[in-house]
Amino acid sequence: MKLKDVALLLLIIVLTTSLIFVGKWTNGIVIFDNLSGLINQQIAYQAITLLYTILFLFILWWFKRAEFQSYFRKGNISAEISPVPMVGIKPKPNENWFHFGRNIGIIISVVTAIVIYFQIIKGNEISGSNILTILLFSIVFSLSNSFVEESITRLGVVVVLKGKLKERTIPLISALIFGIVHYWGNPGGIAGVIVAGFLGWFLAKSILETKGIFWAWLIHFVQDVIIFSARFLVTP
d(CA 211, CA 75): 5
CB-based burial, 22-57: b 16+ in 10 Å, e otherwise: bbeebeeeeeeeebbebbbbbbbbbebbbeebeebb
d(CA 167, CA 179): 19
The Cβ of residue 58 has, within 10 Å, a number of other Cβ atoms equal to: 11
- pLDDT one-digit tens code per residue, 44-56: 999 999 999 999 9
Q: Tell me the average pLDDT across 214-233.
A: 94
Cα 190-83-148 angle, rounded to 5 deg = 50
User: Which value, to the nearest 10 degrees, does the dihedral of the CA atoms of residues 98, 102, 103, 109 take?
Assistant: 160
d(CA 31, CA 19): 20
Q: Tell me the average pLDDT across 176-194.
A: 85
Q: Which pLDDT belongs to residue 89?
A: 86
Q: Which pLDDT belongs to residue 234?
A: 86
Evaluate if pTM is beyond 0.85: yes
Is residue 187 scored above 80 in pLDDT? no
Q: Show me where the domains of the chain are located.
A: 3-233
Q: Which pLDDT belongs to residue 236?
A: 61
- More confident position, 196 or 174: 174
